[in-house]
Structure 1
Amino acid sequence: MTGVITGDIIRSREQKAATWMRLLKTALRRYGQETVDWEIYRGDSFQLEVKSPEMALEAAIMIKASIKQMKKMDVRMAIGVGEKSHRSRKISQANGSAFVNSGECFESLGKKNLAIRTPWPEVDLEVNLLLDLALLVMDKWTTSSAEIVRIYVEHPDATQKALARRLKISQSNISGRLRRAGFHEIMRMSDRFATLIQKHL
């Protein structure tokens, strides 16, 4: 089993491509190697394989937080979980049910910015409901909210005191940003997703 994220950048022309591309590549590199595990194509679309599928939602949260550090920008993503039936040196040449699920889910996103499709309908039902609720907050992240989420996903063991020093703001400001971003609730959702996937592996 593997996880595949298919995505594209919303309003990619609102900002300089070099800036958001750097943020996107940094997020993707956290989860794999370029070409083998991820690729950017057609300028503002991408695909990432997350070999530990239970980590796929965390990866999507990381990507969204990275991109939303740029004003007016966002990202649409579909997470597919399933098998990988053909291995290749390029992710674009790989296939299997994980890739099919991700692609079909992406095509059916409509106005949603994030959804999943797995082999298990009960998992899809629960997680997509949680995502619908979480996106009410995530889609409205400010640049500062997105930044604090990205940093905390990168450094889960960091203390608020250490981050306050790093960002040169007060500890109460860190706490306020996390609260406004819904960070702890969103990470509980990510943990629930991981638990559900692990139960089925």
Structure 2
Amino acid sequence: MKKNNAVKDDSTCFAAVLTGDITRSQTYSDDELRSILAALKQHLTTYAKRYGGHFDIYRGDAFQLAVEQPQYSMHIALGLRLALKAHTANVDVRISVAVGEAHFRPKEVKTGTGEAFVLSGRGLDAIKPYHLAFFSSDNKLESNLQLLTRFADAHISALTQTQSETLLAYLEASDKNHENIAAILNKNRSNVSRILNASNYKLIAEYLAYMTQAIMTRQEGTE
């Protein structure tokens, strides 16, 4: 894993910033919202450790995560949405993802500066009626990836709680054999395969691979 040089020496780096909030958070009871926020924090912590990042949760239902491995930004965004949808029925989050120059310090992500922070924050303000959006200062990159992301967004939005749980397990597993996914979820293998097929898991995996490669190519052009 790459070291977080932006945190270490206060330099500016090419990074991804994910700004999001829980939809309809005011409709949940205090206990429900606490449980949802605990799940959100757990997954943000996992992704921050895995991809060299830092995050803040603020205003009760909003969050911001900055990572120095931007090529995995959409893995994180989809992972967060699937995790929350799997956690509680009818729960979802809006996430605005932006890649570009960023400057941030540990535990002070919400005070970060740079184009990635600006684009991500503005993107969340204008994200409705979507739940997922991608932005970049590179107009060609944004144009190429934004429409694909809207299709992915519509697909994820339509998944059930069980489909979200199963697809997340598949995407997160190092061994993606359906037998292994079934063991992780303590479910029947044929049932897992049926759910994954209904979730169009191969298409989502292809989308993530395409996004990873496109962002990596853009990042290499800045170095």
TM-score by length of 1: 0.92
CA RMSD of aligned residues (A): 1.7
In the alignment of these two chains, the number of paired residues is 199
Aligned counterparts of 1:85 and 1:137: Cα–Cα separation in 2: 33
Aligned to 1:14: 28
**Identity over aligned pairs, percent:** 27
Aligned counterparts of 1:30 and 1:91: Cα–Cα separation in 2: 16
The question of 1:148 aligning with 2:166 is answered yes
Matched AA of 2:154:
L
Aligned to 2:119: 101
Q: Would you say the 8 A contact 2:55–2:107 is kept in 1?
A: no
1:1-201 aligned at under 5 Å gives the runs: 1-12=14-25, 13-14=27-28, 16-32=32-48, 37-69=54-86, 70-87=88-105, 89-201=107-219
Which residues of structure 2 form unaligned runs of 5+?
1-13
Cα deviation, 1:57-89, whole Å, max 9, x if unaligned, reads 000000000111111111101001111235454
Matched AA of 2:19:
T
Matched AA of 2:35:
T
Aligned counterparts of 1:95 and 1:147: Cα–Cα separation in 2: 34
How much has 1:40 moved relative to structure 2?
0.8
Q: Would you say the 8 A contact 1:87–1:95 is kept in 2?
A: no
Aligned counterparts of 1:88 and 1:170: Cα–Cα separation in 2: 43
How much has 1:14 moved relative to structure 2?
3.2
Secondary structure at the residue paired with 1:131?
Answer: helix
Relative to 1, partners in 2 of residues 1:31 and 1:165: Cα closer, same or farther, differing over 3 Å?
closer
Aligned counterparts of 2:93 and 2:189: Cα–Cα separation in 1: 29
Secondary structure at the residue paired with 1:32?
Answer: helix
Relative to 1, partners in 2 of residues 1:68 and 1:56: Cα closer, same or farther, differing over 3 Å?
same
